[in-house]
Structures are given as C-alpha cells and as structure tokens.
Amino acid sequence: MALYSLARLALVVVLAAAVLYVPRAFGVDIPLLVAVLFAVLIALPVSLVVFAPLRRRVNEGIATVDARRRLAREDLEGRLRGEDGR
C-alpha cells in the first residue's frame, strides 16, 4: 500500500513539474497551486492505467487481511456463544 501511495505521489510531483516548466518554454507562467491541482487531476486517471498491477497487488493484500479479520471475528463470536471451535 505504501509503495502504491508513493508511486502516485511521485506521479503527481512529475506532472506538477511538467505543468510548471513546459509552459515556461513558451513564456507562460503558471502558479504552483494551479500546477499541483492540474497534476492531481491528471494523475487520477493516469495512475489507474499505469499502476494497475500495483493496485491489484494492494487489493489482494487488503482482501487477505479482510478474510483473516472475518475468520477471527467469527471465531471470537463462536467462543462468546460458548461454541467450541476446535
């Protein structure tokens, strides 16, 4: 999850730099806040495509944790009801 978040943040930084410095070659200055907002908007759909394998790994990890948590909760509920889970 941390790797996916860092990858998306790096994409925003790269896009913000591009939005800031490419127009300067044509004599247009763009404020930093505007460049960052454009970068965030552009990074959302781009990261869905570019980081799809990474996102799938994160989703699988979350599903594994959820399954483990669900089993632990069911076990606890069974023990609280007095059932012997062994």
Q: How far apart are CA 41 and CA 78, in angstroms?
A: 47
What letter would DSSP give residue 18? Answer: H
Segments of the chain scoring below 70 in pLDDT: 85-86
> pLDDT tens-digit profile of 66-83?
999 999 999 999 999 988
Q: So what's the pLDDT on residue 36?
A: 94
Domain boundaries, the chain: 1-50, 51-86
Q: So what's the pLDDT on residue 86?
A: 55
Q: So what's the pLDDT on residue 83?
A: 80
Q: So what's the pLDDT on residue 25?
A: 83
Radius of gyration of the chain (CA): 22
